[in-house]
Structure 1
Amino acid sequence: MKSLYKKAQLICAALVIGGISLSASAEVKTVTISQAFQSMLYLPLYVAIDKGFFKDQGLSVIKETAGSPTAALSSVLSGSSQFSLHGPEWTAIAASKGANVGVISNAVNGAAVWIATAPDIKFTSIKDIKGQKVVSGLMPTTSTSLFLKLLKENGMNDKTDIDLIQVPLGTEPAALLSGQAKIAVLYEPGLDQVAIKGMKVVLGFPKTYGPYAFSSITAMKNVDPVAAQKMVNGMEIAIRYMNKDPKGTIEVAKKQFPTLDPQVVEN
């Protein structure tokens, strides 16, 4: 899988995020982007739509939710949408099978996965989880893939050194809080959901792995290049905005996730 990630990162790096300073075309282009899920990991997209950054570029963006990465990517392959948003590994897999697709922009540039434990678990290194039950998302998913990678790098085996319990994505927090396991591998907002309940955050993959193409926007290689550049520009401006205005970003997140505990969103 390492080579697939590398391939996806190279595809992404190949597109120069330029032209932001260029004036938007007078013609407004309408495009559809199919996201795998409604996810906090896709917040730059929501910020770009909410704050009008795409409109400033002359792009009208219709957001649809497919329900899975493969369904989102399939919408691009079938032509029902121009762009899809999900992990870049799915794009790399499709490209390796001959699909004429590529990654054009990142949405999250770090490995947004964390490990949390019950308060009574001693954790000084990953080797401390030996013999423990660990809950993680049902494969294939990046959180579990990165966790397995971390185990391997530390000479551990998920089948012999731990009891790995894979659960449907989004149910990891409940499994940890209910005591099904005392250790969990989590995305946001699941991490903050367990943290405000007293669970300990013991390891962050962003620090461990640094810059990382975690969630990305995919398009056919013959996509309208003007629309693609406008999409990239809008995402880049949104990410810069998020760094400069956390309060404004939180307000967008609250609108996108109205049922989430506000404390979770603010964290």
Structure 2
Amino acid sequence: MLYSTVPAHEKRAAFRARLATGELLRLPGAFNPLSARLIERKGFEGVYISGAVLSADLGLPDIGLTTLTEVAGRSAQIARMTDLPALVDADTGFGEPMNVARTVQTLEDAGVAGLHIEDQVNPKRCGHLDGKQVVDENTALKRIRAAADARRDANLLIMARTDVRAIDGLEAAIDRAKALVDAGADAIFPEALADLSEFEAVRRAIDVPILANMTEFGKSELFTTDQLRDVGVNIVIWPVSLLRLAMGAAERGLDQLLAEGTLEPKLGEMQHRADLYDLIDYEGYNTFDTSVYNFDIAR
């Protein structure tokens, strides 16, 4: 009932421990708190909070228009709804190194288990669009040093994302990744790699966990979890997938309404009311206070 009973510091410690095993952790993107609960119920190892999804949810493009307040608010809503660790996209840290430090502490207070800071020029753009620009190495390293120094819980995962691959090539991206690790990054997110051999090259070059972004319609192929596991990837995210599935279903439902004036043919595609109530745990609320929640869930 209500929120997760697992404290944030325990989620962070558990996340670190699982990463240390070397296994591949699967983090689908939660587009709202309820979807985070569904991700947990289906047996995944964590949830991802995508900046692109948060922007799209607000009807905005992913070009750095969202604020720290908006990201932290949605992160708190999602993180508190699941026992799983949450990894959040913190874009460029919302400013200069001092802003990055504040971002880290604000997101730490929101209950996330980790966050990633990227090396794009601010305002950033989607990592799988052309025309990206990255900051110089010194600026990128200052962001990561500020992030690592600002955290209060040593288990809060500070991940560095680098977008250098699409601009200067793989070797430059590997050099940037090495420098980011030396600056204090606990993990590396090499964005928009072209193929499995590039993931293998990054894996050989650094000794911290690496993340693969399996976003649809992007620069990278959509590799399977087995393929990614075999080349040594430690975390895989599907950042926008659930939102895309949901919006696709919503569009088809609206077309059905326009065409026939009824959604009866779509009932088999919908989450049943009983399943929704079970996911929300209506029964737990009923048990907590039967004087208020005193209904039966129809099957």
Pair in the same fold by TM > 0.5: no
Report the TM-score, using the length of structure 1 for normalisation: 0.30
Work out which structure has the larger RCO, using CA pairs closer than 8 Å and 6 or more positions apart in sequence. 1
Larger radius of gyration: 2
The structure with the greater share of residues assigned to helix is 2
The structure with the greater share of residues assigned to strand is 1
Report the TM-score, using the length of structure 2 for normalisation: 0.28
